[in-house]
Chain A
């Protein structure tokens, strides 16, 4: 017993609500059956002319005057026409395709990088021989010798040194900033660290060159460039990132733990170091991994302070070459197998980073399962 979906004109006009004049078949056209005829019921004649007059007001709303109670205005919000709704759904379809292709293109771009690395590196590795490549200690491209062990060792030492120096300082500083630092001073220190994490590595490298190298030179009576210099510099570079991640995770430990520790009589320091810090383990580990990632991937800063001799280092004062430096120093002029060997070096670096990331997620999942 359906009647026309129009409103009771007079009653409506008294309360000032609009009467939809053109409630036409447009409302009822489905997107699927386009040739459906509008039924008469739903297509009121346009002879229902409601003039565009001032909207009469209702007695329910005292702040409105009442005039022209029998007339009511056109609906202010028209229903969509067939045309409009078809356009809208067409627009929607196009939009979805556009976004999907953006996603696809993005994936393709990054996949391209991986594929490219592999395609160029694998033949080189096959030619050189995987074992010889990874464990050979001589990198002499003119003599067709491509052993990257010195570089692997170099990267390893330098990254390890950076972690040994940078992580303890960073974590302890993070603890201080999170719990012991007076907030006025903290407000000054925080921006410095944030800005530091954005400083280009070339500036760190430059600083290392003009300050750290001479300092090491004087202090230890060496050439100044070597593993120790690079480690100190890299430690400086990973400090901001270790501190910010560690600080975030320390501050994220629920206040309840802290209060509970205090409530059993522990001093503030005890609570922080024995309770809070262990609870922030996972986040701190994340910061360390990020630091490792940055250190092992750092090129320019390291290149400027490390000597770059492609030999196995005998001690920490000797110059050495990292995987990254190896690539950047020779890619400008390398050709044929030499170039492919450099790509293979890049692949090895890539694999190391994947392994580190994988270990990280593994450790994270394990520690999560304990919680």
Chain B
């Protein structure tokens, strides 16, 4: 009897130990995975910073572009212009559409559900497809040529699902009780939307727009054949322009100015960091606004 018990007991203990060992091994794997991730991603960023920062100097931002300074000035301006135009279009249409879906329609209706599903799917389409579409429709069919306008329109359509989705989510997250309170005071739907719902949803909407900015800034494939690659300030909406990402691509594939390529990469990384910080500040504001400050 005793022997049996002992055997069982020791068997039980050793099984527990083995299982625990397995779990510990997995934990170590998890740690390794994290280290690898950091090494790869952090390593990449540090590598670029190390190689690129030395080349950040005055000449990089000179107004006049020439093959010596490879000035980023025009690219930065082009990027800003492109972002502003594309986001304005996507923003107006997307926010308007989101308001309609969130405030004026019955959210369970089949129409709304299918619209939402369609946008959700379209948000996952690769940008090269939008680029192809933009080239064939705007550049060729509408004869805009490689231009700021064609590029902006393409990017606008690309960002539209994103902006609409994030705005709608932000609007739906606003508690119904706010709307009820406002309507019960005699405010009417329009006033309720603009004075109560939109301000409350604002941080979420801006977050979505910032995501759009990030997407636009990182976009290359959709722009090469819609906005072209001319490194200059645009004379008009129909001038070809080169954004920072496209500039980066040109430098990298030509392989002639690798040091400038690193510098451009640093500038791009810096911009991404700025956007992230802005986005983080935005969500902190949302917390404070909806849960009260001391």
Q: Using CB atoms and an 8 Å cutoff, list the residues of chain A in contact with chain B.
A: 88, 91-92, 95-96, 98-103, 105-107, 109-110, 112-113, 116-117, 120, 168-173, 175-177, 180-181, 189, 191-196, 198-207, 209-211, 236, 239-240, 243, 267, 269-270, 272-274, 293, 296-300, 304, 324, 327-328, 331-332, 339, 342-343, 346, 349-350, 353-354, 357
Select which of A110, A189, A357 is within 8 A of B160 by beta carbon: A110
Chain A nearest CB, measured from B59 CB (Å): 21
Q: How far is it, in angstroms, between the C-alpha of A223 and the C-alpha of B27 when the chains are bound?
A: 37
Contacting residues, chain A, for B96 (C-beta < 8 A): 98-99, 101-103, 106
List B125-183 residues whose CB lies under 8 Å from chain A: 125-133, 135-137, 157, 160-161, 164
Which of B36, B44, B122, B157 has its CB near the most chain A CB atoms (within 10 A)? B44
Assuming the A-B contacts A99-B100, A198-B275, A350-B125, are A203 and B41 also in contact, with contact meaning beta carbons closer than 8 angstroms in the complex?
no
Interchain CA distance A92-B19 in the complex, whole Å: 66
Q: Complex: how many Å from CA A273 to CA B42?
A: 27
**Within 8 Å of chain A (Cβ to Cβ): is B93?**
yes
Beyond contacts A98-B96, A116-B133: 14 other A-B pairs, Cβ-Cβ < 8 A, are: A92-B190, A99-B96, A102-B93, A110-B119, A116-B137, A120-B136, A172-B26, A195-B45, A202-B220, A207-B47, A269-B23, A296-B126, A299-B221, A304-B253
* B276 in the interface (beta carbon within 8 A): yes
CB distance from B227 to the nearest CB of A (A): 13
Interface residues of B, Cβ cutoff 8 Å to A = 19-20, 23-24, 26-27, 29-34, 36-38, 40-42, 44-45, 47-48, 92-97, 99-101, 103-104, 115, 118-119, 121-122, 124-133, 135-137, 157, 160-161, 164, 188-190, 193, 214, 217-221, 224-225, 245, 248-249, 252-253, 258, 261, 265, 268-269, 272-273, 275-276
**Interface of B (DSSP majority class):** helix
Q: How far is the CA of A293 from the CA of B157 in the complex (A)?
A: 19
Can you report 11 A-B residue pairs in the complex whose CB atoms are below 8 A from each other? Answer: A109-B93, A172-B29, A177-B34, A196-B41, A201-B220, A203-B268, A207-B48, A239-B41, A269-B23, A296-B126, A300-B220
Interchain CB contact under 8 A, B48 and A331: no
Interchain CB contact (< 8 A) of A327 among B32, B128, B193: B128
Q: In the complex, what residue of chain B is closest to A342 when comparing beta carbons?
A: B132
Shortest Cβ gap from A302 to chain B (Å): 10
Q: Are A211 and B157 in touch, CB under 8 angstroms?
A: no
In the complex, the answer to whether B218 meets A328 with C-beta atoms within 8 Å is no
Query: What is the distance, in angstroms, from A207's C-beta to the closest C-beta of chain B?
Result: 5
Most buried by B among A112, A346, A357: A346
**A96-B104, A106-B164, A269-B20 as given contacts; A346 in contact with B218, CB under 8 Å:** no
Question: Are B100 and A102 in contact (CB-based, < 8 A)?
Answer: yes
Contact (A202, B37) CB under 8 Å given A300-B249, A332-B225: no
